[in-house]
Amino acid sequence: MKKLLENPILNKVLYGLYIVALFVLIFDYGFSLPNWAEQAILFFYTVLLSVAVFITVNKYVFLKKKFVFNVFLFDLLSVLFVIYCIYKQIDTSISQIIDWTRFAIILKLIREFATPKINYKRSVLNPAQLFIISFMGLVFIGALLLMLPNATYNGISFIDALFTSTSAVCVTGLIVVDTSSFFTPFGQSLIMLLIQAGGLGILTFASYFSYFFKGGATYENQIALSDISSSNKIGEVFTTLKRILGITFFIEFVGAFFIYINIDKELIPSFFDRIFFSAFHSISAFCNAGFSTLPNGMMQDGFVNNYPLQLIIIVIFVFGGLGFPIVINVLRYLKHFVKRYILWFAQGKDNYKPWILTLSSKINLITTFSLIIVGTAIIYAKEYYNTLNSHEGIGKFITALFTATTPRTAGFNSIDFSQLHFSSIIVIILLMWIGASPASTGGGIKTSTFAIATLNFLSLAKGKEKIEIWRREIANISVRRAFATMTLSLVVIGFGIFLISYYDSNVKLLDIAFECFSAYSTVGLSLGITGDLSSESKIVLVAIMFIGRVTMLSILIAIFKKVKSLNYRYPTDEILIN
């Protein structure tokens, strides 16, 4: 048995069967198959799962597999679950495939596809190229899956499928077809999975699962992932990934729970429909995607005046827009605060740690909440007798708060943005352009970039040569990156406005500009022109959404070869500016 299990031919055959199972699963979900085909697929699933259980058990018995508790626990639970699914499928004599069996196949595929050892070579692809290719691949795979017959009620063109997939993967939220009426529950589930994978990055999931099942990774893989995950130390890469996934799923679960208890049961009578609604909107909110299964979003009757629900969604997408490094840093600070000032009697004398809250966290938190306060005040004042007129009391404030925070790349709407005053639209465009915080699920030029630009002109006005704040000096490379990000964003947005105004010359310039800012900052708000644009303009928006998600700076880094640092400097010279 040991020789059989170690046979490389057997392993290749099994891996080939798992690849076949992946395509069979796609056909099973995506097409309405005749009864004989379903019976054949059911037989294939049953045989494959039985073989998988047999091999997994025998690997632990005969190969003396290295004992890793987490992996062993996963394998044990998955084996028990698969046995239960096989028993349930056979015992009930169901001629159709039950969903639990499909889920068991998915579980097994995740387990097997995460196991092969893949060594990343920086000489072949640099981290920026790997990051961009992963998103590009996810977009095209998502588009093909959305074109499956069972994903929509009446079919979808490739351009519209590509647009929807890009919008979901890039967590934008712009739509060319109504998500609620155009896509089936299967299609909506695909969109939800694309939002989740795009929000965190497919490499985050793939890398952590691979590390989890193998118990380690090569040094070169860790260097690449440290660049992608913004980890400060190579040795903490997978700890960072674990925290990112943990924070994400915890906030999404808690958010889904509170959304569920605030849904009117008369509006969504079915228990499973309420569960799906809660999960979809929690994931969409945390990933700052802005997709909704409601025809009119939060403007829908029964939801537009549900202020507790709107507050919950605000909290979820604000957390998602803060950025994982900031959330982790704040949690560390709170832990230190509790130990030092609340549980001081249980601590020793040496429990003081300076600079728990980093400069980056302070700048981004202050900028974020300043923009929320100022934005809410402006919208409340400008729209009090306009779009907020139908609300009363606290409802006006919550709707203004929702309207001011959602442009920060969330994309949900509780009002008709096309009815806003012109000055309010300009404020919304500014908020969209600034966007969320760095290393978050949101887009835009980022709050840190806006803060650095503001601090820079204040320093220049004071005659300072350096940007100093809170007894710290902001690094020159951060300033250069900030202004490169701002410049490149305006170049991409401006070029997009030019192209769309060329292809759709009948559309107002303000509407086009709003759409392009929304696409680049992965916001998803619109003045109502998205679905009526030509195919050429939709492709332009697809490109803008993709560039906005991966950032133009990353694309340039991926294209240009990195220059080695040289040990000389030319004489400096000043250029006339004003």
- pLDDT average, residue stretch 522-528: 86
Instruction: Looking at the structure, tell me whether residues 174 and 284 fall in a common domain.
Output: yes
Residue type, 60: Y
Residue 252 lies inside a defined structural domain of this protein: yes
The answer to whether the CB of 515 falls within 8 A of the CB of 538 is no
The string of pLDDT tens digits covering residues 464-477 is: 888 888 888 888 88
- pLDDT average, residue stretch 523-541: 88
The full DSSP string for 193-260 is HHHHHHHH-HHHHHHHHHHHHHS---HHHHHHHHHHHT-SSGGGHHHHHHHHHHHHHHHHHHHHHHHH
Instruction: Looking at the structure, tell me whether residues 429 and 534 fall in a common domain.
Output: yes
Instruction: Looking at the structure, tell me whether residues 135 and 106 fall in a common domain.
Output: no
Residue 339 lies inside a defined structural domain of this protein: no
Instruction: Looking at the structure, tell me whether residues 79 and 213 fall in a common domain.
Output: no
The string of pLDDT tens digits covering residues 131-189 is: 788 888 889 999 999 999 999 998 888 999 999 999 988 888 888 888 888 899 999 99
175's tokens:
């739509």
534's tokens:
């030509």
The answer to whether the CB of 102 falls within 8 A of the CB of 28 is yes
pLDDT for residue 112 is more than 70: yes
The answer to whether the CB of 204 falls within 8 A of the CB of 178 is no
Q: How confident is the model at residue 67 (pLDDT cuts 50, 70, 90)?
A: low
115, β-bridge pairs: none
Instruction: Looking at the structure, tell me whether residues 444 and 555 fall in a common domain.
Output: yes
Residue-level pLDDT at 94? 56
Output the average pLDDT for the chain: 81
Instruction: Looking at the structure, tell me whether residues 377 and 406 fall in a common domain.
Output: yes
pLDDT for residue 3 is more than 80: no
The answer to whether the CB of 29 falls within 8 A of the CB of 102 is yes
Residue 571 lies inside a defined structural domain of this protein: no
pLDDT for residue 213 is more than 50: no
Residue-level pLDDT at 428? 92
| Boundary (domain end) residue, out of 56, 79, 113 | 113
Which range in 93-102, 241-250, 268-277 is most confidently predicted, on average pLDDT? 268-277
**C-alpha of 465 from chain center:** 38
Residue 415's closest CA among 370, 382, 372?
Answer: 382
Instruction: Looking at the structure, tell me whether residues 258 and 364 fall in a common domain.
Output: no
Residue 538 lies inside a defined structural domain of this protein: yes
Residue type, 311: L
Residue-level pLDDT at 219? 45
- Whole-model pTM: value is 0.86
> Within a 10 A sphere around the Cβ of 480, how many other Cβ atoms?
11
Residue 576 lies inside a defined structural domain of this protein: no
Residue 170 lies inside a defined structural domain of this protein: yes
Instruction: Looking at the structure, tell me whether residues 398 and 451 fall in a common domain.
Output: yes
The string of pLDDT tens digits covering residues 222-259 is: 555 555 555 555 556 667 777 778 888 888 899 999 99
> Cβ neighbours of residue 348 under 8 Å, at least 6 residues apart?
none
Residue 522 lies inside a defined structural domain of this protein: yes
Spatial separation of the C-alpha atoms in residues 143 and 255, rounded to whole Å: 28
Instruction: Looking at the structure, tell me whether residues 504 and 381 fall in a common domain.
Output: yes
pLDDT for residue 412 is more than 80: yes
**Phi, psi (deg, nearest 5) at residue 546:** -65, -45
Instruction: Looking at the structure, tell me whether residues 182 and 209 fall in a common domain.
Output: yes
Instruction: Looking at the structure, tell me whether residues 137 and 215 fall in a common domain.
Output: yes
Residue 577 lies inside a defined structural domain of this protein: no
Element (H, E) at 496: helix 476-503
3-state secondary structure 378-425: HHHHHCCCCCCCCCCCHHHHHHHHHHHHCCCCCCCCCCCHHHCCHHHH
Residue-level pLDDT at 104? 82
Instruction: Looking at the structure, tell me whether residues 357 and 262 fall in a common domain.
Output: no
Q: Which domain holds residue 277?
A: 127-317
The answer to whether the CB of 178 falls within 8 A of the CB of 294 is no
Number of domains forming the structure of the chain: 3
